[in-house]
Amino acid sequence: MSVQVVSAAATAKVPEVELKDLSPSEAEPQLGRSTSAVSAMAPPAGGGDPEAPAPAAERPPAPGPGSGPAAALSPAAGKVPQASAMKRSDPHHQHQRHRDGGEALVSPDGTVTEAPRTVKKQIQFADQKQEFNKRPTKIGRRSLSRSISQSSTDSYSSAASYTDSSDDETSPRDKQQKNSKGSSDFCVKNIKQAEFGRREIEIAEQEMPALMALRKRAQGEKPLAGAKIVGCTHITAQTAVLMETLGALGAQCRWAACNIYSTLNEVAAALAESGFPVFAWKGESEDDFWWCIDRCVNVEGWQPNMILDDGGDLTHWIYKKYPNMFKKIKGIVEESVTGVHRLYQLSKAGKLCVPAMNVNDSVTKQKFDNLYCCRESILDGLKRTTDMMFGGKQVVVCGYGEVGKGCCAALKAMGSIVYVTEIDPICALQACMDGFRLVKLNEVIRQVDIVITCTGNKNVVTREHLDRMKNSCIVCNMGHSNTEIDVASLRTPELTWERVRSQVDHVIWPDGKRIVLLAEGRLLNLSCSTVPTFVLSITATTQALALIELYNAPEGRYKQDVYLLPKKMDEYVASLHLPTFDAHLTELTDEQAKYLGLNKNGPFKPNYYRY
């Protein structure tokens, strides 16, 4: 099959944001003067040891006495410092580097369309003057949807669906559906799938112990009473557990999907059945995507006062369409690299008009998403797509950061012979000390059976490398973008592409050599397997705590800036997950705490500590 490149799509842009009269309080926050609402959710705390004498820059603000609706949830009020404002230089430049490569999308007829060459993983903003009633035809919607690259995939929530979107071709927007209570304030694929979705949610609950614990602690207490949360995330069973937890804590929620493909229809149906206004289905068109977001926000008699976003699309929609809403919004919680980057841009430009929490960079999220999640899901992704046996196979892993370490550990445990490439001598030395051969890619490219990229960089595997690979070599990527492997260079007339399975392409050279390309170079685990629920539990708990904190923070504590969750909150998220393992933490004695200069109840490490 030869492929034909038709056109380059327009460059996706983050829209310019114009903000007028939006500044809420001008008051400077009194850091540490009053209690964090989240602090009240903390586990029982002991004596009143002094705060750790860390350097001023690292020392969290001193906690105050408990207050606010969350305070009564635990006797531990007043032990968690509030989030500290982000003062670092923007760490997301690193992630931006790989956003400027192209992406090719193959339609069923073999036509290749070049996707936008910047910010590929975000959906472009639809024309702001777009009228949602003027909708494309069914066919138009489908083709639109094919032309959008995977959106907001930089948050590593499970995007795999275990049911397909059914044979029903009718757009959910054209259906009249009601749940069993007679409400039609939702738009999902098929409300009749609710029972199946409920079972999925119940399964997820078993692996999300911290959220379930928060629900229990909140019995009788409603730290989110009065909160009106508008959310835009992957709609999966794990998100459903989060939403229902927020509901149990007193919040009203309206929700849309942050990704046009990742919605689990049955889960969306279950949420709609239990009264959540959910607007999402698998396979939305771009037009549907924005329509769903708009239906969440543009409601008579209901205005959000909190935003939970994953990718920044919801936040920007409100900025563009309903900027006055920010007068009532108390804060934004953002999960993804992309969304956080946009918030920093707004903050830098002085246009961020409410406080925002950067959940993406909290220690627990980073560590668990990157290392442990990838350690678990790399084998799953490879196995599901190729059925291969790993024992004795030669594998080269490019990049020995968190993701690379996870991949290497899993493959080594399966008996693979693992080589590592690195540019950073520290990570390189770590690889050596962990027993891996550090090589240049060129040295092993002819002999390896599998090539895995985990660098967050671009063009790590070039056409030259691809030309030299042996027959049947498997090539895949675990990094953020699909430009780590130069997939675009394979779209040339002399090479033939054969789609052999979903997400598996054979690229065949004129001499008959073929390589096995997985997920067209996109994130393997996100595209071809599921992500462990327990990992998502950690992120979801962090999101819930960030919402509680921002919602309950006294006027002036947070200004219009981007904040990181305090270490104490990270520690709390971790501690809520420990009972799963029947793990028993050692407590510092008074003497030891004094000796180390720590508060007995944490935080136990300075902010600069590398775990």
Separation of CA 413 from chain center:
27
3-class DSSP state of 34: coil
3-class DSSP state of 185: coil
Smallest distance, Å, CB 156 to ligand NAD? 4
Among 313, 380, 422, 571, binds ligand NAD (CB under 6 A): 422
Q: How far apart are CA 156 and CA 564, in angstroms?
A: 19
- Decide if residue 456 touches ligand NAD (CB under 6 A): yes
Separation of CA 447 from chain center:
35
| Residues 22, 323 contacting (CB under 8 angstroms) | yes
DSSP 305: S
- Per-residue HEC secondary structure of 363-420 comes to HHHHHHHHHHHHHHHHHHHHHHHHCCCCCCCEEEEECCCHHHHHHHHHHHHCCCEEEE
Among 261, 390, 400, 419, binds ligand NAD (CB under 6 A): 400
Nearer to ligand NAD, 283 or 479 (CB): 479
Residues 459-488 binding ligand NAD (CB under 6 A) are 460, 478-480
Q: How far apart are CA 369 and CA 336, in angstroms?
A: 12
Tokens standing for 210? 């911290």
Q: How far apart are CA 113 and CA 107, in angstroms?
A: 8
Contact track, ligand NAD, 374-393, x by CB under 6 A = x-------------------
| Residues 144, 285 contacting (CB under 8 angstroms) | yes
Smallest distance, Å, CB 444 to ligand NAD? 13
| Residues 378, 352 contacting (CB under 8 angstroms) | no
- Decide if residue 590 touches ligand NAD (CB under 6 A): no
Residues 524-563 binding ligand NAD (CB under 6 A) are 525
- Decide if residue 80 touches ligand NAD (CB under 6 A): no
- Decide if residue 369 touches ligand NAD (CB under 6 A): yes
In the complex, residue closest to ligand NAD by CB: 401
Nearer to ligand NAD, 126 or 438 (CB): 438
Among 370, 386, 527, 552, binds ligand NAD (CB under 6 A): 370
Smallest distance, Å, CB 455 to ligand NAD? 4
Max CA-CA distance within the chain?
74
Smallest distance, Å, CB 384 to ligand NAD? 15
Which residue stretch of 274-282, 354-362, 422-430, 510-518 sits at the interface with ligand NAD (rule: CB under 6 A)?
Answer: 422-430
Site residue total, ligand NAD (CB under 6 A): 27
Contact track, ligand NAD, 203-232, x by CB under 6 A = ------------------------------
Residue 187: C-alpha distances to residues 125, 177, 265, 295 (Å): 21, 8, 10, 9
Among 404, 532, 602, 603, binds ligand NAD (CB under 6 A): 404
Query: Residues interacting with ligand NAD, by CB under 6 A?
Result: 156, 369-370, 373-374, 398-404, 421-424, 427, 454-457, 460, 478-480, 523, 525
